[in-house]
Amino acid sequence: MPSPFPGMDPYLEGHLFQDVHHALANEIRDRLAPQVAPKYVARLMTYHLVAGERPTSSVGGIYPDVNVSIAKSQGASSTTVREAAVAYVTSGAINRRAVTPPVIMFTPGLHKVELVAIEIRDRVGNDLVTAIEVLSPANKEMPGLGQYVRKRTVYLRSRANLLEIDLLRHGTRSIETQGLPATTYLVSLSRASNRRQLEMWPITLSDPLPVVAVPLRPEDGDVPLDLGAALAVVYDRARYDLSIDYTTPPAPTLEDADSAWAIEWLRSMQSFEQPARAAE
């Protein structure tokens, strides 16, 4: 069964997105490989980012804050950090050789997130010609955001083109979007031949996903990538409809305008029941 949405399905942005990320990268590779052959090859490149604790909610980019607890130390029987610290100092424990700290802070644990990028390489020299990044929540939240920004800087200092596909509403974008019309999703292209220019495809929730350009060497031009068709294949093949309840709000919740549009759109689809208001 196909997704009921004309473009990006916001219900894919939660707990399903890790699977969507990998499957979409594979589908993009499979679509580009015959178009760029035989001079170029399309390959998947797996890499890791360090992210915060594994999320307990359905929103992949949200991690818990630092937790603070009071240690059971001498004289520190109060329940606040300030009171415990005062009790610790005034008790004279600070002068002892072996002391128990009055405050223990539990910082979020770190884990590696496996991500996949698509690379177009010259078949003869194996030179990287174009990198395609399908952004994940780990790319848009610290500490993974900082790591991705550094990786992006390496791309931009190289002779490779960079195509970034951001189909997530949550998190911080790594590129400057000042002056750009309000957009739900964004695809951007930086060509090695002109770093001063950034080509963008702004996408709203009601827009079909676009056909975007994937540049090769200047003498070979561009090849097209139909993102809408690629996502439709991934959705249908994985049967995401079996894991989604379209009568409940997506996570993260939609902005008011998008929520109102989504409600009316889903109501118009005969195969789906009326959903609850997505912003509530």
Residue 96: CB atoms within 10 A of its CB come to 10
What pLDDT shows up at residue 179?
A: 75
For residues 24 and 17, what is the distance between their CA atoms, to the nearest angstrom?
10
Q: Do the strands 111-122 and 128-134 form a parallel or antiparallel pair, or are they unpaired?
A: antiparallel
Residue 120: CB atoms within 10 A of its CB come to 27
The answer to whether residues 237 and 19 touch, using CB atoms and an 8 Å cutoff, is no
What pLDDT shows up at residue 38?
A: 97
Per residue of the chain (280 residues), give pLDDT as tens: 899 999 999 999 999 999 999 999 999 999 999 999 999 999 999 988 776 544 433 333 333 333 344 444 444 444 555 555 555 555 555 555 556 666 666 555 566 788 999 999 999 999 999 999 999 999 998 888 999 999 999 999 999 999 999 999 999 998 877 777 789 999 999 999 999 999 999 999 999 999 999 999 999 999 999 999 999 999 999 999 999 999 999 999 999 999 999 999 999 986 554 444 444 4
Predicted TM-score (pTM) of this structure: 0.77
What pLDDT shows up at residue 52?
A: 57
Q: Which domains does the chain have, with CATH numbers?
A: 10-61+119-244 (3.90.1570), 67-106 (no CATH)
